[in-house]
Amino acid sequence: MSDISLNSYRIPAEWEKHHAIWLAWPHDKITFGSLNQQSGHPDEGRLAKVEREFIKIITTLAESEQVNLIILPGKKISDLPKGVKIFEADYADVWTRDYMPTFVKNQNDELTAVKWEYNAYGEKFAGLKKDNNVWSKINLEFDINTIKTGIILETGAIEVNGNGVLITTLQCLLKRNPNLNKKDYEEIFAKFLNIKKVVWLKEGLTNDHTDGHVDNIVKFVTPNKILSAYENNREDENYEILKNNFETLKNAINPDGKPFEIVKLPMPHMNYNNGKKTPVSYANFYIGNTVVLVPIFNDANDSVALEIIQSCFPERKIIGIDCREIIYGGGSIHCITQQQPVGLAKNKK
């Protein structure tokens, strides 16, 4: 671990140029088989369906940027496009957004990995905790300078604009480190990510096992423009939650004292096979170098959301990815991706 000061570093916005995108191949039959099913009624075919969607995701992203794919040792995968780089590791699940590091860089384009601690969403899933060690094993091949924060945090819990602003939820962060308060977190984000302004939302979606990850409810599309998930049905469980978040964003200001532009993004609707409401959202999209992958759910609002997102990225191709099977693990496109920005990093290879 380096003692380097991060005062001159910043966390780039997602729309900035990527060197690579990190994904992990799905293999867990609990996540994609029995989780969120009726008790005693696992879906034996779900994992194969999820694998097919992953091939589509990887093939699409391979045309946009370098795809780095984590697989189990000895695993063979057919139908992968050319150019995908394989990294073997002992890992549990696909949520690279949450257990891989946050990458920051300085004005000289020098890259540093900020590694948060991952405890499987507040100790909810003991089998997933080993994913906290994935980066240290993979980084033996790269030797990218890594800062260990000692703070429990998933990157899906924070949203940044590349210009010193971070959005998060009280619901998630106050549960992850009960000994820390808002001021503590603001100092931590300033120290490790050079964040100047934190916008605090109250909570995330109903039935979200991540305790309200922000990447399911808001998304920066420019340094000053935010898409905010919004529910129009007053009877829906998410109506008040999203309305309150929208109003908080409307009243927020950037470090220059100016308001943000807030655009409503409609909500999809879906229930798990056990009858519970799923934490589905179009805000959980991924901005690649040339494409934007958007989760869709065979919902009437799919086309509306795709049109709104396309208007924000006229130079990129917008592609809808059917996430009706992937969501059984509790997340979708943004959750399974972690971008590595372009930057200079020592590489042993």
The Cα–Cα gap between 242 and 230 comes to: 5
pTM recorded for the entire structure: 0.96
Q: Please give the structure tokens belonging to residue 145.
A: 């300078």
What DSSP string runs through 138-163? Answer: HGGGT---EEEEEEE--GGG-EE-SS
pLDDT tens digits, residue range 45-62?
A: 999 999 999 999 999 999
Residue 122 forms part of a structural domain: yes
C-alpha 47: how far from chain center: 21
Residue type, 297: F
Residue 2 is assigned to a structural domain of this protein: no
| Residue 90: other Cβ atoms inside 10 A | 12
Into how many domains does the chain fold?
1
Residue 335 is among the residues annotated as catalytic for this protein: yes
The answer to whether residue 12 is domain-embedded is no
Residue 8 lies in a domain: no
- SS3 (DSSP) at 78: coil
Q: Which residues contact 86 (CB under 8 A, 6 or more apart)?
A: 69, 71
- Is 193 part of a structural domain of the chain? yes
The catalytic position among 172, 312, 323, 335 is 335
What pLDDT, on the 0 to 100 scale, is given for residue 346?
60
Residues 6+ apart with CB under 8 A from 184: 177
Residue 344 pLDDT: 85
332: in domain: yes
N-terminal to C-terminal alpha carbon distance within the chain: 20
249 Cα distance to chain centroid: 20
Give CA–CA dist 338/102, Å, rounded: 8
Residue 9, domain member (yes or no)? no
Sheet containing strand 218-222, strands side by side: 218-222, 225-230, 261-266
pLDDT at 5: 57
- Rounded Cα distance between 275 and 268, Å, is 16
Strand bridging mode 18-24 / 66-71: parallel
Q: Which residues contact 169 (CB under 8 A, 6 or more apart)?
A: 157, 200, 201, 202, 203, 204, 211, 212, 213, 214, 217
Radius of gyration of the chain (CA): 19
The CATH number assigned to the domain holding 24 equals 3.75.10.10
Residue with tokens 């099913």: 37
pLDDT score at 107: 87
State which residues of the chain have pLDDT below 70.
1-5, 346-349
Beta bridge partners of 169: 201
Contact criterion met (CB below 8 Å) for 309 and 294: yes
Encoded tokens for 143: 């030797």
Q: How many CB atoms neighbour CB 257 within 10 A?
A: 6
Q: What tens digit of pLDDT does each residue of 22-51 get?
A: 999 999 999 999 999 998 899 999 999 999
| Residue 166, helix vs strand vs coil | strand
Question: From residue 68, how far is each of 15, 18, 313, 326 by CA, in Å?
Answer: 18, 12, 24, 20
Q: Classify residue 344 by its DSSP letter.
A: B
- Residue range of the domain that includes 102: 18-341
Which tokens go with 190? 């300033």
Q: What contacts 116, CB < 8 A, 6 or more positions away?
A: 101, 102, 149, 151, 152, 153, 154, 155
Is 1 part of a structural domain of the chain?
no
